[in-house]
Amino acid sequence: MFHAQPLTPWVTLLAVKRREVWKCNVLAVDCGAEIVLIDGNLTAAEIDRVEADYGRPVSTVFSTHTHLDHVNHLHAAAARGIRILSPAPEAAYLRDIDRLLVAGGMRTKSEREEMKHFMGEVLGLKPVSAVEEFTPGAQFAIGGITIRSVHLPGHAPGHCGYLAGAVSDVRQVFLVADLGLDDFGAWYGFDYCDLAAYRESIHRAETLYDPENHVLLGSHGRPHFPENPGNFKAIRAGIDRTGELILAALRECGAATVDELACSGLYYSPDALGRLDGTMKKLYRYWERCTILHHLRELEERRLVRRDAAADRWSARG
Ligand SMILES: [Zn+2]
């Protein structure tokens, strides 16, 4: 289930309390005759409770992006005829999970089949064919409420945050989704992630954020009110720190392949990795490999590392 915390008179945070790790913060927006959910990755029982609490139906779910913890229950909403709206190209990934895995960088069919089995059988993910696509940045008006999508690519190509509130009020809730406001920080563990775009998105969100009038919120963690404003600098510092760790590791060992660098404590903690097994371990290894590769490419552009293409080994310059 979830714990409901009103953020403004129109927007309530549904902090999901399920035991599974694949969950995210959900926003319920009171649009008068209908309730709209943002990142409404809720089970059928949880949607029942929203409708009972408000005494009105949930009409629409706006999705932020197609990552497991944001979409593995969306089929429950779709099955009830609730409209599912998703930014491009995330909608295409929701319709066809194979497309997500190809874009994420899983090139071999066997790798993708194992992952699809895990996502479907273990995590309950089902593709949602009825999803409607919109252009990131699109704005919607429903019952006197404005829901504005804010394109924040980098974490995923179509990754969107949302600004939601009444047309007549300056107070808004600003959901920045997986930009990294929580303790974990930024995440860019798929091939389609883009570190330069990620840095620009942090800047875009920071520029849009009005600490006086916005309740700021990430998809994981607690909301930020004027008395505890969100810290975008900390997200940037976390990214920089990972880059510095990778550079320091290369300086120490001379040269290494991405595989040699992965799972050595540069990104995920060895303790966390040690608790995983089977497909989960493979998944984390895959994510960390991609993360390190994004940093190596950035460091290469800054002429701090070089790649020996023949041996596929990376080394620090100078
Ligand atoms: Zn995500």
Q: Is the model more confident about 183 or about 58? A: 58
Q: How many Å lie between the centroid of ligand 1 and the Cα of residue 220? A: 10
Q: How many Å lie between the centroid of ligand 1 and the Cα of residue 252? A: 32
Tokens at residue 20, please? 């599974």
pLDDT at 233 over 80: yes
Express each pLDDT in 58-85 by its tens digit: 999 999 999 999 999 999 999 999 999 9
Q: How many Å lie between the centroid of ligand 1 and the Cα of residue 255? A: 31
Distance CA 168, CA 137 (A): 21
Distance CA 138, CA 266 (A): 37
Structure confidence at residue 199 as a pLDDT band (50, 70, 90): very high
- Residue carrying the six token digits 């409404």: 40
Q: How many Å lie between the centroid of ligand 1 and the Cα of residue 57? A: 27
Q: Is the model more confident about 88 or about 120? A: 88
Residues with CB in 5 Å of ion ligand 1? 67, 178
User: Please, what is the Cα angle at 312 between 308 and 318, to 5 degrees?
Assistant: 35
Lowest mean pLDDT among 38-47, 107-116, 218-227: 107-116
Q: Is the model more confident about 270 or about 28? A: 28
Tokens at residue 75, please? 């089929």
Per-residue confidence (pLDDT) for residue 107, from 0 to 100: 86
Q: How many Å lie between the centroid of ligand 1 and the Cα of residue 228? A: 24
Q: How many Å lie between the centroid of ligand 1 and the Cα of residue 155? A: 6
Residue 270's CB is within 10 A of a number of other CB atoms, namely 9
Q: What is the mean pLDDT of residues 254-267?
A: 88
Q: Across all residues in the chain, what is the average pLDDT?
A: 94
Q: How many Å lie between the centroid of ligand 1 and the Cα of residue 318? A: 36
Q: What is the mean pLDDT of residues 209-226?
A: 95
pLDDT at 263 over 80: no
**2-230 CATH pick, 3.60.15.10, 2.60.40.10, 3.30.70.2740, 3.30.420.40:** 3.60.15.10
- Is the omega angle on the peptide bond into residue 89 within 30 degrees of 0, that is, cis? yes
Q: How many Å lie between the centroid of ligand 1 and the Cα of residue 202? A: 15
- Percent of the chain past pLDDT 90, that is, above it, reads 80
Per-residue confidence (pLDDT) for residue 177, from 0 to 100: 98
pLDDT at 218 over 90: yes
Q: How many Å lie between the centroid of ligand 1 and the Cα of residue 67? A: 5
Q: Give the strand order in the sheet containing 255-256.
A: 255-256, 313-316, 305-308
- State the pTM of this model: 0.95
Catalogue the long-range contacts made by 228-237 (C-beta closer than 8 Å, 24 or more residues apart): 230/176, 230/181, 231/181, 232/181, 232/202, 232/205, 232/206, 234/185, 235/179, 235/180, 235/181, 235/185, 235/186, 235/202, 236/199, 236/202
Q: How many Å lie between the centroid of ligand 1 and the Cα of residue 134? A: 18
Distance CA 55, CA 40 (A): 18
- Percent of the chain past pLDDT 70, that is, above it, reads 100
Per-residue confidence (pLDDT) for residue 5, from 0 to 100: 97
pLDDT at 19 over 90: no
Per-residue confidence (pLDDT) for residue 315, from 0 to 100: 95
pLDDT at 172 over 90: yes
Q: How many Å lie between the centroid of ligand 1 and the Cα of residue 65? A: 7
Q: How many Å lie between the centroid of ligand 1 and the Cα of residue 7? A: 22
pLDDT at 262 over 90: no
pLDDT at 28 over 90: yes
Per-residue confidence (pLDDT) for residue 284, from 0 to 100: 87
Q: What is the mean pLDDT of residues 99-123?
A: 89
Q: How many Å lie between the centroid of ligand 1 and the Cα of residue 310? A: 34
pLDDT at 318 over 80: no
Q: What is the mean pLDDT of residues 109-128?
A: 89
Q: How many Å lie between the centroid of ligand 1 and the Cα of residue 304? A: 29
- Residue carrying the six token digits 């984390």: 284
Q: How many Å lie between the centroid of ligand 1 and the Cα of residue 178? A: 5
Per-residue confidence (pLDDT) for residue 176, from 0 to 100: 98
Q: What is the mean pLDDT of residues 189-198?
A: 96
Domain ranges of the chain: 2-230, 234-303
What stretches of the chain show up as alpha helix (H) in DSSP?
44-54, 68-71, 74-79, 90-95, 97-104, 109-117, 195-208, 232-253, 258-261, 270-274, 278-301
Per-residue confidence (pLDDT) for residue 20, from 0 to 100: 85
